[in-house]
Amino acid sequence: QSFKLLGFLDVKSVPCARESVLYGSVGSLVVGLGHFLATSRVRRSCDFAVGGFICTMLGYWFYCRYNLAQHRIRQRMLKEGMRNKILFEGSSLDPERKQTGSERSDS
């Protein structure tokens, strides 16, 4: 069961899509209602609401995707560090291993 926005954006499987649409709808409500309360112009307030939806949705989309990319990079670095730890543990290349005097003079 998936929900496709505009026929092509699968909100359920695309990361950050659901949150972006939800924050966009809240932003639309806030901007549209705020403009209506300030000016009492219905049509213009609807235009502002659509603009608020687009700006809020795109703003949160880029923010969320940037954080997701950073998270994946940190995850990849951690995974590689764990692999290196397992690979070099106990060998002469282990940075945590204490070197004795004879090992220092050999290198």
Domain boundaries, the chain: 15-87
Does residue 101 register a pLDDT over 90?
A: no
Confidence of residue 82 (pLDDT cuts 50, 70, 90): confident
pLDDT value of position 3: 65
Mean pLDDT across 91-106: 63
Q: How far is CA 4 from CA 1, 9, 21, 45, 70, in A?
A: 10, 5, 12, 27, 27
pLDDT tens for 37-71 read 999 999 999 999 999 999 999 999 999 999 999 99
Find residue 58's DSSP bridge partners: none
State if pTM tops 0.85: no
Highest mean pLDDT among 5-19, 30-44, 76-90: 30-44
Residues in the chain: 107
Confidence of residue 8 (pLDDT cuts 50, 70, 90): low
